[in-house]
Chain A
Amino acid sequence: MMEKFNRKYNQLILLLACFSILASCEKGDEPAPEFMETNLAPFSVEFDNIIGDRTLTFNNTAAPYTNAAGEKFTVSMLQYFISNIKVATADGKEYAVKQDSSYFLIRSSDKATRFAKVRVPEGDYTRLTFTLGVDSLRSTMGIDKRTGVLDPAANGDHDSGGMYWGWNSGYIFFRFEGNAGVISDDANGDPTGKKQFKYHIGGFGGYAAPTINNIKTITVDLTTAGIAKVRKDRQSNVHLFVDAMKVFNRPNGFSIAAHPNVMFSDYSVNIAKNLTTMFRHDHTEN
């Protein structure tokens, strides 16, 4: 009898303990700490790549995706640079992540790369801003400043995921490749017969004379889907959906058959505009 009571008592304590842990996880009510640029805490942005209503899977020939033009396609590569992350509070306090720690290459083939992990001051943030691509200043810096994902030797060669144009010094900001049956086998499509599409979007504005500038700044309002409460004892994570279907659809809709390969060209400017519509804030984990 006593044993039974003890067991019940123990279970109660366990339950209470669980509640108290849960309660300590509940952190909505505490006031935002005073904004101090030196009071840094972990913060991350998660780039969760999707295609329309579906998750991203590679070379899914059994169930290809369909764009607004009605073309069926599969995806073999999706990767892009994210840089210059900034956050802002409701009362207008802004913080830009230190330049040298603010370059990320999101590669959908490697789930570990989906987070841009940075440090920002403790605070409640209602707005997130970042660059899709590599800013022009960094694009013209000396070789010593091109380390990590910015190393021209990093990420493989041109065929295997490289994100650097050696012939026209600059980074590929956004690289999206796959296959679509609508692509012709001639010089206007893919003469190798593999029916591949390749979109390598870059162009930072030029060294000497102004050239195409496809650097895009993305601003995400966090007030609807959840502000980021950055504190030292936890990991605030802004979870974005990045919808690659938007590459084809808006605002400058195009068909894969008409433009199966777009790299450093005037047409890339149209596609770069579409890229700004890919990012959607789904929720924030605080």
Chain B
Amino acid sequence: MMSKKQILIIFSLCLFVYACKKSDMVQEQVEAFLGFQQPANFPAPVYKLSANPVTKAGFELGRSLFYEARLSRNNTVSCGSCHIQSSAFTQHGHDVSHGIDDRLGTRNSPPIMNLAWNKAFMWGGGIFDLDLQPVAPITNHEEMDESVENVMAKLRLLPKYTTLFKNAFGTEEITTARMMKALSQFMVMCISSNSKYDKVMRKEAGVSFTTQEQQGYMLFKEKCASCHSEPLFTDGSFRNNGLSLSPINDQGLYTATLIATDRYKFKVPSLRNLKYTAPYMHDGRFLTLDGVLEHYHSQVQDLPNLDPILKNGARLGIALSDEDKSKLLAFLATLNDETFINNPALAEQ
């Protein structure tokens, strides 16, 4: 004979199961694949989505490829090795990227973030089409040290990719164009647009800046926004921000253009997700944001092609009091996007 208590337990268990079922259904609806969605506070993307529309199958293939170690010569390094989601797709803690056979690159892993709005890729430029970008790390001696041809040969042996390519493109054929377009489909979906800043800008209910954040935002607009323009927090240009020359004398954009006025210019990075992407600059020389702000305040070097914005008469750099720095840091913290680094759809499956 069941006691009242037992009946109650069974009844509440049933309720619990029912509740779970309901939330699963909701979850499924939330996860329905929506393709590329332009955030309300973002401009139109630069990437030509009409030539490569993002589909669920294409995105899933791209994600598999992004986390596929077979892209490297000895099957040890994937894109995700140096672009780690929890670090906003950078290689946290590494000044320069750490690739195959423990080889070191010369530059800091940039984030895979909002790339659909990028006009040019790499710290030193040279690549202007996201679909052509993966060729660089795959073939680079310090990164993956492999040939694209051989990557495809390895993928063709795996039934998993036979299926994924067929789902994405209709047939099993693996070509350079298909592989690159799938990778692009994954990468353009790595959108960070849910920081506190974004919510404030979209006037989402109940979200507003604190006084300090608001003051920091005003300071940002006054002192930083000419290069780190909203809402992507980069204008996509290449500039010399007055860093002292590195021991390897990395000449930045000049290497790709051979134009003298491009010497020591590097791509202006976004200021989103700085919490997760230390160290900073093209060679990861600053370990903290305090270090970065101090550079702009007192360490800017008058080298060839120094950006004119950083030279006002005899004063180099941007004058920042300690109070200014605190306010700026408070504002910059509103650009961190936890939903981006935790988005399960972007994680290795």
How far apart are the CA atoms of A144 and B122 in the complex, in Å? Answer: 22
Cβ contacts under 8 Å, B147 to chain A: 153, 156-157, 160, 162
Taking the complex as formed, is A143 at the interface, i.e. its CB lies under 8 A from any CB of chain B? yes
Q: Which of B196-204, B253-261, B286-294 contacts A (4 or more CB under 8 A)?
A: B253-261
Taking the complex as formed, is B152 at the interface, i.e. its CB lies under 8 A from any CB of chain A? yes
Taking the complex as formed, is B48 at the interface, i.e. its CB lies under 8 A from any CB of chain A? yes
A209 touches B259 (CB 8 A): yes
Question: Given A142-B51, A209-B259, A168–B176 Cβ distance below 8 Å?
Answer: no
Question: Given A152-B176, A153-B176, A157-B139, A143–B131 Cβ distance below 8 Å?
Answer: yes
A147 touches B140 (CB 8 A): no
Q: Which of B254-276 contact A (CB under 8 A)?
A: 255-259, 262
B177 touches A146 (CB 8 A): yes
A41-55 vs B, CB cutoff 8 Å, 1 = contact: the mask equals 000000000000000
Cβ contacts under 8 Å, A211 to chain B: 256-259
Cβ contacts under 8 Å, A144 to chain B: 51, 177
Dominant SS among interface residues on chain B: helix
Tally of A interface residues using CB under 8 Å: 29
Choose among B127, B128, B149, B262 the residue that contacts A157 (Cβ–Cβ < 8 A): B149
Taking the complex as formed, is A81 at the interface, i.e. its CB lies under 8 A from any CB of chain B? no
Q: Which of B125-148 contact A (CB under 8 A)?
A: 125-129, 131-132, 135-136, 138-140, 146-148
Choose among A147, A151, A156, A209 the residue that contacts B257 (Cβ–Cβ < 8 A): A209
Q: Which of B149-168 contact A (CB under 8 A)?
A: 149-150, 152
Cβ contacts under 8 Å, B255 to chain A: 168
Q: Which of A157, A162, A168, A169 has the most CB of B within 10 A?
A: A169
Cβ contacts under 8 Å, B51 to chain A: 142, 144
A156 touches B132 (CB 8 A): no
B132 touches A212 (CB 8 A): no
Choose among A143, A164, A212 the residue that contacts B258 (Cβ–Cβ < 8 A): A212
- B58 vs chain A, min Cβ distance (A): 14
Cβ contacts under 8 Å, A146 to chain B: 176-177
Taking the complex as formed, is B70 at the interface, i.e. its CB lies under 8 A from any CB of chain A? no
Q: Which of A151, A160, A166, A212 has the most CB of B within 10 A?
A: A166
Cβ contacts under 8 Å, B131 to chain A: 142-143
Cβ contacts under 8 Å, B181 to chain A: 143
B180 touches A143 (CB 8 A): yes
B136 touches A166 (CB 8 A): yes
B127 touches A143 (CB 8 A): no
A152 touches B135 (CB 8 A): yes
- A265 vs chain B, min Cβ distance (A): 7
Taking the complex as formed, is B120 at the interface, i.e. its CB lies under 8 A from any CB of chain A? yes
Which of chain A's residues has its CB closest to B176's CB? A153
Cβ contacts under 8 Å, A265 to chain B: 258
Taking the complex as formed, is A248 at the interface, i.e. its CB lies under 8 A from any CB of chain B? no
Cβ contacts under 8 Å, B148 to chain A: 152-153
Question: Given A153-B149, A208-B120, A212-B258, A169–B129 Cβ distance below 8 Å?
Answer: yes
Cβ contacts under 8 Å, A168 to chain B: 126-127, 255-256
Q: Which of B37-57 contact A (CB under 8 A)?
A: 48, 51
- A259 vs chain B, min Cβ distance (A): 16
How far apart are the CA atoms of A154 and B126 in the complex, in Å? Answer: 20
Taking the complex as formed, is A64 at the interface, i.e. its CB lies under 8 A from any CB of chain B? no
How far apart are the CA atoms of A188 and B65 in the complex, in Å? Answer: 40
Taking the complex as formed, is A266 at the interface, i.e. its CB lies under 8 A from any CB of chain B? yes
Choose among B125, B132, B146, B150 the residue that contacts A152 (Cβ–Cβ < 8 A): B132
B127 touches A264 (CB 8 A): no
Q: Which of A113-150 contact B (CB under 8 A)?
A: 140, 142-144, 146-147
- Nearest 3 CB-CB pairs, A to B? A153-B148, A166-B135, A157-B147
Q: List 22 A-B contacts (CB under 8 A).
A: A140-B129, A144-B51, A152-B135, A153-B147, A153-B148, A154-B149, A156-B149, A157-B139, A166-B135, A166-B140, A167-B140, A167-B256, A168-B126, A168-B255, A169-B126, A206-B257, A207-B120, A208-B119, A209-B259, A209-B262, A211-B257, A211-B259
Residues of A within 8 A of B (CB): 140, 142-144, 146-147, 151-154, 156-158, 160, 162, 164, 166-169, 206-209, 211-212, 264-266
**What 12 additional pairs, Cβ within 8 angstroms, besides A142-B51, A152-B176, A167-B127?**
A142-B48, A142-B131, A152-B135, A156-B149, A167-B126, A168-B126, A168-B256, A169-B128, A207-B120, A207-B128, A208-B120, A209-B259
